Structure 1
Amino acid sequence: MAVWRRLARLAAHLQDPRKVAAFQRLCGVEGPSGWADAEQQRAGGRGAVVNGGPSGGQGHPAGNGSVAGGAGPPQRWRRRPRRNSLTEEDGSQEFSTRSRFLYYLFSLGTELGNELFYILFFPFCIWNLDAWLGRRLIIIWVWVMYLGQCTKDVIRWPRPASPPVVKLEVFYNSEYSMPSTHAMSGTAIPLALLLLSYGRWQYPLAFGLILAFCWCSLVCCSRIYMGMHSILDVIAGFLYAILILVVFHPVVDLIDNFNLTYKYAPLIIISLHLALGIFSFTLDTWSTSRGDTAQILGCGAGVACGSHINYIMGLKLDPPPHTLPLSLSSLTVTVFGKAILRLLIGVIVLLLTKVAMKKATIPLACKIFRIPHDDVRKARQRMEVELPYRYITYGMVGFSLMFIVPSLFHFIGLS
């Protein structure tokens, strides 16, 4: 019992938002002078926290802690953080920082867990480096993110309180906090990249370890810096990702071979991913987690189905066995130019696919389920619209990533 009490005290210590605020101050981030005292007085009668915001679905206070008229430090730097268009939170944010370098560095770390990074990293890996590696990375990423999102909505811990934390980002503020899925992704992807590529690619092991350590550390620390997670959230995400990686790494080859070769794989893949999105969890109030989960599952299903069609049609994207192990020493100006051209053309196709499917699926879902679509933001928060829109849209993006774009490259001579 004494051990459990110590662990409980340690967990409470690591979850303390004051530790997050202390890390922010160490990195030179401060809110306007006097804002914390004023916010604490305003928060005196606030109800329970629901999905990262106060009860009643009102979101966090305007400005996430800024106080009008507060006397700020001399180096105040006014910024408007990235926010989700589906939330009603005020995007204005005022804070001061002594180091713009750290702000941009940790902003980069945060982007390593966002859609912009995924839509560049996975296509580049599949189209230009090693499709075999890219498919397996996506399989691991889907399971890590899916389990992380579901766990958040089971545990239902709120985001760190503001004040004392300064919120530098509000995009995922409506979600619960434990565990940090950014930390899970930032741990699983570099470690899986190292496990899957070492021996298949020629590079020093020390280089891979240093890259994985820097990648993981940057993403994890960025979530504390941005005020979105407690230290405990990040540590839990790190350990949870390692646990999932240990469990799924031995079977990732079996999953990939099943996706490629089994006759009825597309039917099973689509049904399984759809069922996981519908029955995995329910929300006490709307948040971005349900749509993000459907988006992740849809992307994974699309990539798996695209891989199966490639296999059936004989479109070989994997490097020939006689070229293994692969090496980066063959990089030339021509090879680099083709890689950038493939990425540019391919990402444009993916974005056009996303926009077209979004324009088609939202009105169609509203019509089928008889939901008014005068206010698109509110319509997209309904489960009947959100799940099919996200699943179908990103399913087609994943299918385009794995089949349509490589077929286009083969047709125009860029493969």
Structure 2
Amino acid sequence: MPPRFQLDEDEDALHGGAAFRKAPESAYGAVYSPVRLYLRRLVVEQVARETPVLAEIQRRYRTPALDRLFVFTGMLGNHTFFMVALPFLHLFGMGLFARGLTFVVLWSVYFSGVIKDYVSAPRPASPPVVQITRSPAHTLEYGFPSSHTTYVVATILYLSHYMLNVWGVSALWVALLWIGGALIVVGRIYCGLHSFIDVAGGVVVGVAEALAFVVFYERLDALLLSTTGPLVIAAILYCALMAIPRSLDLCPCCIDSFCATSVTLGVSVGTWIHACMPFLWHRGHPDRIAWDSSLTLAQNVARGAIGMGLVVLWKLKSKPVMISLVKRLFPGDQAHLEDRHAAHAQDASDAVSQAGYPIPSAACIKGGRYGSYAIMAAHENLARIPIYSGIPLTMYVVSPIAFYFLGLMPR
């Protein structure tokens, strides 16, 4: 029986769940471009060569204590952790840094997801490798590059820049930060979730992205506060979503890309709206949302609790409303996950079959209507755009308004 898996961190599968059925190798040659196929074969062959080494590492060094350690460090580097941790930076007035770090983390998720879908290389085979994780769904995603490695490296590089060049923090603390990051990265190999080439790819992408944000982010942040900023950012994010490559397998990597880009849209629009409401600013500066020295400790704690509470409330309660809204706006969505080929079955009369796997027609391949298109076009996935955009909007707009009417504004 094929394995079942969840497609969302909320543990609810689109359309009630779908079985992951990997396409035969011959099918990739019929659908992917020569360049894409060549890159995929390079990575697949390298992962196959590394798999016995990974299995031997586990055989020699695996212990219950290390299992617990690396599962825990993996949780510190997942997107759920960042979704909880990042709002605190905004709530406690980190301003430019908070927005920059949020963009670094979320665009790491996007870029690594796009490359995963494009290359479509599986994780190390299990068996012989044992995949140690509390999120079994993620073991069925593609492996190259490692998303954890990408955003851990990018995040720590960006943090290191601020710690050394802006805040003047001791290099000892920076070294400790890198040790923690190394544990997360090493844990991906120890847990059998990634090969060495997956991790190496994540390092390259993470370094490139972090350097780009260190150099250019202040100019991007100025754009966010400009008159046309939200429109420009929305156009960029629309192009980013349209650029997500369709994978032949029903891989949920694209869901993280939708979530990440949607949050950055919310940060952009929320920052702009907040800057347009001077009565909510902290002493003439629109950076500080929660903590303020002119308030008592109890008032500051109340502001932080209200801000986080509203964010959690939005995340928990917005989903059914947004799904219903999307269904009304796009009633013709037929991309059911129970049939991965429903999206192109209507106009794929010339489709052929390889090893029992129906190959999409040339028209469907050209239009991107195959494989993971069924996930991307589903109502539940489209609803993620307003749901995840609403998280920073709640933080930057709804929370300060609540503070204003509750009499919790700085004096």
Question: 2:319 is matched with which residue: 351, 358, 361?
Answer: 358
Deviations 1:79-116 (A, max 9, x none): xxxxxxxxxxxxxxxxxxx333x223212221123233
Structure 1: which 5+ runs fail to align?
1-7, 29-97, 322-329
Instruction: Write the letter of the residue equivalent to 2:392.
Output: G
Distance 1:357 1:256 in 2: 28
Question: Residues 230 and 348 of structure 1: is their aligned pair in 2 closer, same or farther, counting only changes over 3 Å?
Answer: same
TM-score when normalising by structure 1: 0.69
Deviation at 1:339, TM superposition (A): 6.6
Deviations 1:260-314 (A, max 9, x none): 1x21222222232123113332121322211110100000010111111111112
Cα displacement (A) at 1:370: 3.6
The 3 A distance-change label for structure 1 pair 377 and 249 is: farther
- Alignment partners' CA distance in 2, 1:407 and 1:24: 53
Give the secondary-structure state (helix, strand or coil) at the position aligned to 2:383: helix
Instruction: Give the 5 Å matches for 1:11-410.
Output: 12=46, 16-28=50-62, 98-100=63-65, 102-128=66-92, 130-169=94-133, 170-211=136-177, 213-260=178-225, 262-314=226-278, 315-316=280-281, 342-367=303-328, 368-371=330-333, 381=375, 383-410=377-404
Cα offset for 1:240? Answer: 1.8
- Distance (whole Å) between structure 2 residues aligned to residue 104 and residue 200 of structure 1: 36
- What CA distance in whole angstroms lies between the structure 2 residues aligned with 1:240 and 1:227? 21
> Would the aligned equivalents of 1:173 and 1:228 in 2 still touch at CA under 8 Å?
yes
Q: RMSD value over aligned CA atoms?
A: 3.4
Matching residue's letter, 1:123: P
1:230: how far off? 0.7
CA distance in 1, matches of 2:331, 2:112: 30
Structure 1 residue 120: Cα displacement: 2.1
- Structure 2: any 5+ residue segments left out of the alignment? 1-41, 287-291, 343-373
Q: CA deviation at 1:193?
A: 1.4
Q: Secondary structure at the match of 2:138?
A: coil
Name the SS for the 2:91 alignment partner: helix
1:20 counterpart SS class: helix
Q: What percentage of residue pairs aligned between the two structures are identical?
A: 24
Rounded to whole Å, the distance in 2 between the matches of 1:137 and 1:126 is: 10
User: Structure 1's 249 and 317: CA in aligned 2 closer, same or farther, altered over 3 A?
Assistant: farther
Cα offset, 1:365, TM superposition:
2.5
Aligned length: 325
Q: Does the 8 Å contact 1:14/1:230 carry over to 2? A: no
Specify whether residues 285 and 343 from structure 1 end up closer, same or farther in structure 2 by C-alpha distance, changes over 3 A only: farther
Structure 2 SS opposite 1:287? coil
Amino acid aligned to 1:236:
G
User: 2: distance between equivalents of 1:319 and 1:148?
Assistant: 38
Instruction: Tell me how far apart the structure 2 counterparts of residues 149 and 228 of structure 1 sit (CA, whole Å).
Output: 15
- Return the alpha-carbon distance in structure 2 between the equivalents of residues 222 and 395 of structure 1: 31
Could you tell me how far 1:377 is from its partner in structure 2? 12
- Residue-by-residue CA offset, 1:354-401 (whole Å, 9 max, x unaligned): 222211122333343345899999999351424421111101112113
Residues 107/387 of structure 1: CA separation in 2 closer, same or farther (3 Å cut): same
RCO higher in 1 or 2 (8 Å CA, sep ≥ 6)?
A: 2
- Checking the alignment, whether the CA contact within 8 Å between 1:133 and 1:197 is kept in structure 2 is no
Secondary structure at 2:142 match in 1: coil
1:310 counterpart SS class = helix
Q: Which amino acid aligns with 2:385?
A: Y
- Is residue 190–residue 215 contact of structure 1 (8 Å, CA) maintained in 2? no
1:178 maps to a residue whose letter is F
Aligned equivalents of 2:386, 2:156: Cα separation in 1 = 28
* Residue 72 (structure 1) aligns with: none
TM normalised by structure 2 equals: 0.70
The answer (yes or no) to whether the contact 2:254–2:376 under 8 Å persists in 1 is no
Q: What residue in structure 2 maps to residue 49 of structure 1? A: none
In structure 2, relative to structure 1, the CA distance for the partners of 1:158 and 1:356 (3 Å cut) is: same
Q: CA 1:373/1:285 → structure 2, altered by over 3 Å: closer, same or farther?
A: closer
1:160 deviation in Å? 0.4
